[in-house]
Structure 1
Amino acid sequence: MEQSEKTILSIMYVAQIQEKNAFEEIKKKTLLEENIIKSNIENLIKKQFVNEDNTLTESGRNSLIVVLAGGVFDIIHPGHIHTLNAAKELGDVLVVVVATDNTAMKMKKRRPLHVQEQRQELVNSLSMVDLCLIGQEDDIFKTVNHVKPQIIALGYDQVHQEKFITEGCKKIELDAKVARLQSPIPESSSSKIQKEYGESIHGI
């Protein structure tokens, strides 16, 4: 498969998740001329990767490796960038889930500096991220089932254990691999940055 076709399939997949117009999203994200986009889509329909309504067929979806990563992402720091870059390298599409404000409070024992919509916007602005969603409070596997990733990437500092994720995926009949990512700067964290910033302000 050509890279241009893979790119179009990736954009179509993200458009489906967001319930957006796939053709308009391809125009916006690739800057290709309409006739070239239409020609590519026609080829993908002939190959049975795409349906007539510009949604992915099962073969089209299976041709993409979707990676799912999650976290609070309250203060974007170099550790996040490295981890998300490493996650993107594992597949074709990177979907990131940011924790809700309530979940973030439970995890961090403090209120996040940015509300969930702001954190979603920040993560969506990162070049390696194809789509950022706000998570579900009651059941993280609702989002996992919605995205249906082939790989779930866990950050170096995340408490979720591989066994918990693997067993949860089995319950929703999803065959996904779990990848534990490492960071070259494990001492970097949003909580530490906030604490050190607060101390420096008080010290002025």
Structure 2
Amino acid sequence: MTRVVAQGTFDLLHPGHVHYLEDAATYGDELHAIVARRSNVTHKPEPILCARQRRDTVAALDAVDEAHLGDPEDVFVPIERIDPDVIVLGFDQHHDEERIAEALAVREIDCRVERASGREPRYDGELLSSGDIVDRVLRRRGGSRAEVDDIER
């Protein structure tokens, strides 16, 4: 059995996330999705939804066999526990395949690293980015990201 891991923030689940997870599932027999903890999301704005809600939403997708919360301190802890054959990165995720492969080798985790295919919008107005969804909500309901960030502080 080929075990696959896909990981991400999965905040405000959208068709781009669904495509990523469905594509990742084609790399093996069993797909495990790891949902990042808020403390590990440092490359973009903090998630809007809590980690458990994001995990439960991802777990509801047919492509996902198991959804896990990431470790709050070490992103490789769930990967060590799952012991995948393949890690599939999202098409536009900021991760560097070579650096991940090196970190896996140091931890003696024997798996390959792949990159999922991208997905273009299928119709005008389809949003494939959580940031674009947030921006549209703010435009339609009034406000700005700066105002939202101020409220959350």
Query: Equivalent of 1:158, from 86, 93, 102?
Result: 93
TM-score by length of 1: 0.64
Instruction: List gaps (5 residues or longer) in structure 1.
Output: 1-63
Work out the CA distance in 1 between the residues paired with 2:84 and 2:100.
12
Aligned to 1:24: none
Q: How many angstroms apart in 2 are the aligned matches of 1:130 and 1:169?
A: 23
Partner of 1:188 in structure 2? 128
Q: Aligned residue pairs: how many? A: 138
Deviations 1:104-143 (A, max 9, x none): 3x2322x322100100110011111000111013211111
SS state at 1:136 partner: coil
* Structure 2 equivalent of residue 85 of structure 1: 22
Does the Cα contact within 8 Å between 2:14 and 2:128 map onto a contact in 1?
A: yes
2:57 maps to which residue?
Answer: 122
SS in 2 for 1:108: coil
State whether residues 40 and 73 of structure 2, in contact with CA within 8 Å, keep that contact through their aligned partners in structure 1.
no
SS in 2 for 1:67: strand
Amino acid at match of 2:43: M
Q: State the secondary structure of the residue aligned to 1:188.
A: coil
The equivalent residue for 2:141 is 201
Q: How many angstroms does 1:170 deviate by?
A: 0.5
**% identity of equivalent residues:** 34
Confirm whether residue 108 of structure 1 aligns to residue 44 of structure 2. yes
* Structure label with greater radius of gyration: 1
1:172 aligned onto 2:112:
no
- 2:80: which partner in 1? 145
Matches within 5 A, 1:13-162: 64-104=1-41, 106-109=42-45, 111-162=46-97
- The whole-number CA distance in structure 2 between the counterparts of 1:65 and 1:139 is 24
Contact 2:6 2:88 (C-alpha < 8 Å) held by counterparts? yes
Root mean square deviation, CA, Å: 1.5
Q: Deviations over 1:56-98 (max 9, x none)?
A: xxxxxxxx10000100001111111111111001100000000
